[in-house]
Amino acid sequence: MYLASDNTGPVHPRIMDVLAEANEGFAMPYGADPLMEEVRNRIRGIFEAPEAAVYLVATGTAANSLALATLTQPWQTVFCSPVAHIHEDECNAPEFFSGGAKLTLVPGGDRMTPEALERTILKEETRGVHGPQRGAVSITNVTERGSVYSVAEIEALCAVAKRYRLPVHLDGARFANALVAQNCAPAAMTWKAGVDAVSFGGTKNGCMGVEAVIFFDPARAWEFELRRKRGAHLFSKHRFLSAQMAGYLREDLWLDMARAANDTCARLAEGLRGKGARFLHDPQANMIFAAFPRAAHRSLHEAGAKYYIWEGSLEGDDPDEMIAARLVCDWSLGAERVDRFLSLI
């Protein structure tokens, strides 16, 4: 019962199969492999963006940092949520790759509101050359608290960004989970809403280690290629990144896995609700932040369940009694494990 993260689960067997097939004979390195051609075409098709620049890297932090660095000057500041992965969980990688840009936190919770974003933007660049300059806006969807921005919310944030001519980055480490939660088209959630660059995650959704970076305007593609190489993120045996992504996209496997994860999570949420658990955030995708009694934690722990205890419980709860946990469901977790988990509470 691993609910610690969606990076603890296995790779989907169909992706393993494509890796095995890709391992025949010789292939040109550094992205010149034929599978990359397939990947590029598939992603352009999926996003209805026939000119998009598409690249693969192996980690989500690489995707975010390289994408943001391409959109941001070192003297600018990136606007993001205080709980954004780029702020909390990348050990200053965005600062490193951008050459020292700042991250400005938009006050509020897991989801930025257009109003808070605009107020925060307005506070910057009021001091001429002295303060940091306004840079990219970075939106995380699914958020780090398991909630999902709707297309309308993303449109509204992008509208603010565009008003100040700022580029928009979407951290989609859980892009597929957000998409199936919204049941919308990839284009609607991205370029049609005003997003300029996407970190399109595969790793957390059944791949081994692969993320695509997509620029809808290919103007800075060559700069990205140089940044990727200089960041040591260009794979020589690139076909094995391509193969993962090809297997991920073929026959909608990516959507099926995201649906499986979200469905498992919904089942878990429902079960927890039935057990009287209380939720710190609205679980809309494959992540739950819920408080339940200490005794239940003990049983779960003894039964080998793995998850992170979360700081703080809900206001009004007795902290001695109620402890919050972060529970993440990956594509492979399944109903059976969830039911067993619930039975221990």
C-alpha–C-alpha distance, residues 42 and 36, integer Å: 10
Would you call the peptide bond into 142 cis, given omega within 30 degrees of 0 as the criterion?
Answer: yes
Site for a second copy in 145-164 (CB under 8 A): none
Q: How far is the CB of 64 from a second copy (least distance, A)?
A: 8
Q: For residues 58 and 277, which CB has a smaller minimum distance to a second copy in the complex?
A: 58
Q: For residues 2 and 149, which CB has a smaller minimum distance to a second copy in the complex?
A: 2
For residue 320, give the 3-state DSSP assignment: coil
Q: How far is the CB of 87 from a second copy (least distance, A)?
A: 8
Query: Binding to a second copy by residue 14, rule CB under 8 A?
Result: no
Q: For residues 133 and 150, which CB has a smaller minimum distance to a second copy in the complex?
A: 133
**Number of residues located near a second copy, criterion CB under 8 A:** 75
Site for a second copy in 289-328 (CB under 8 A): 306, 311
Query: Binding to a second copy by residue 134, rule CB under 8 A?
Result: no
C-alpha–C-alpha distance, residues 242 and 246, integer Å: 6
Query: Binding to a second copy by residue 183, rule CB under 8 A?
Result: no
Q: For residues 107 and 276, which CB has a smaller minimum distance to a second copy in the complex?
A: 107
C-alpha–C-alpha distance, residues 181 and 203, integer Å: 18
Query: Binding to a second copy by residue 109, rule CB under 8 A?
Result: no
Q: How far is the CB of 251 from a second copy (least distance, A)?
A: 20
Contact 10, 203 (CB under 8 A): no
DSSP conformation letters of 31-49? T-SHHHHHHHHHHHHHTT-
Binder of a second copy out of 2, 175, 248, 292 (CB under 8 A): 2
C-alpha–C-alpha distance, residues 107 and 318, integer Å: 27
Dihedrals φ, ψ of 15, to 5°? Answer: -70, -40
C-alpha–C-alpha distance, residues 342 and 275, integer Å: 8
Site for a second copy in 225-254 (CB under 8 A): 225-237, 240
Query: Binding to a second copy by residue 259, rule CB under 8 A?
Result: no
Structure token pair of residue 213:
């970076």
C-alpha–C-alpha distance, residues 200 and 189, integer Å: 12
Query: Binding to a second copy by residue 102, rule CB under 8 A?
Result: yes
Q: Taking contact as CB under 8 A, which single stretch among the options 130-138, 143-151, 175-183, 273-281 is the one that binds a second copy?
A: 130-138
Q: Taking contact as CB under 8 A, which single stretch among the options 38-46, 100-108, 161-169, 288-296 is the one that binds a second copy?
A: 100-108
C-alpha–C-alpha distance, residues 52 and 45, integer Å: 10
C-alpha–C-alpha distance, residues 223 and 48, integer Å: 23
- Indicate the residue type of 217: D
C-alpha–C-alpha distance, residues 200 and 190, integer Å: 11
Query: Binding to a second copy by residue 91, rule CB under 8 A?
Result: yes
Q: Where are the beta strands (DSSP E) in 76-181?
A: 76-80, 102-105, 133-140, 168-172
For residue 142, give the 3-state DSSP assignment: coil
Q: How far is the CB of 266 from a second copy (least distance, A)?
A: 21
Binder of a second copy out of 18, 47, 55, 60 (CB under 8 A): 60
Q: For residues 113 and 133, which CB has a smaller minimum distance to a second copy in the complex?
A: 133
Site for a second copy in 25-54 (CB under 8 A): 25-30
Q: For residues 156 and 170, which CB has a smaller minimum distance to a second copy in the complex?
A: 170
Structure token pair of residue 162:
């565009």
Query: Binding to a second copy by residue 336, rule CB under 8 A?
Result: no
Run of H or E including 339: helix 334-343
C-alpha–C-alpha distance, residues 28 and 15, integer Å: 21
Binder of a second copy out of 70, 203, 264, 286 (CB under 8 A): 203
Q: How far is the CB of 208 from a second copy (least distance, A)?
A: 5
Query: Binding to a second copy by residue 204, rule CB under 8 A?
Result: yes
